[in-house]
Amino acid sequence: MSSNTPPSEAKTQEYEFEQMNLQVGGRIQFITHRTIKPIQHFSTLIGWVKDEYMIVKIPVENGAPIALNDGDKLTIRVFSGVNVCSFACTVQRIFPRPLFYVHLSFPTTIQGTSLRAAMRVKVDIPAQVSSPAGTTSVFLVNLSVSGALIESPKKLTDDDNMVGLSFYLIAQPGNRQVRINPNATIRNINMVKPASADKAEVFTYGVQFIDLDPVHYTMLQNLTYEALIADRQKIV
């Protein structure tokens, strides 16, 4: 297995369109081939007409839509939460200002790779944990669609107790801050002793989300997807 392939990746196989589990408003990777080296952009899926065309937002870079021409060949890559799928297509029709979207040819062949369902991404996000003992400021050190790993300066509560979690993610477009506030069940607790004697011990809590909002689930999918595509060193 090459060093560029995460150990959780399986071999590539063909997928049906429905297996991609596409969501209107979901993030997709939009890869152009107009230069020697393909250029990767992120875009948003607007919709599709089965077997006819797909509609996506034209990616924006430096405040302006990227240049596209009818007939341009593209690769679209999508992440369903458990699969990374990609397919070739061409630009059929461009809708310029003020719409800035494009019709793409409907995929005929889709290649996919199955991934671990709850792939975790390294993060460093301040958060608040609410428990019977009160509210504590903590840090999230990794995130997935199913849970998180929390670092806390003090003991929060015991195994199997439910806590409230609150943190913010950045949503596109517009770099909006969105508050994520699921309840979670503590699955494991560890105490990490610091290497330096003058530093305090740190408690780590593995938690499982139990009522994650579907919109927030999609945001966490996108976080995982972008880390998988852009910076695999962040994949735990």
Cα dihedral: 160, 166, 172, 175 (round 10): -150
User: Distance (Å, rounded) from C-alpha 74 to C-alpha 89?
Assistant: 5
- Does residue 56 have a pLDDT over 70? yes
pLDDT confidence band for 8 (50 / 70 / 90): very low
**Residue 192's Cα: distance from chain center in Å?**
28
* Residue 120 pLDDT: 84
pLDDT in tens, 132-156: 878 999 999 999 888 999 999 888 8
Question: Does this chain's domain 12-114 share its CATH topology with 121-234?
Answer: no
pLDDT in tens, 177-217: 999 999 999 988 888 876 666 677 889 999 999 988 888 88
- Is domain 12-114 given the CATH code 3.40.50.300 in the classification? no
Q: 214 vs 128, which has greater pLDDT?
A: 128
Which residue, 117, 116, 89, is CA-closest to 17? 89
pLDDT in tens, 45-54: 999 999 999 9
pLDDT in tens, 168-177: 998 766 778 9
Query: What's the pTM value of the predicted model, to 2 decimals?
Result: 0.56
- Is domain 121-234 given the CATH code 2.40.10.220 in the classification? yes
Domain boundaries, the chain: 12-114, 121-234
* Residue 227 pLDDT: 75
The share of the chain scoring above pLDDT 70, in percent, equals 84
Which residue, 186, 103, 93, 173, is CA-closest to 147? 186
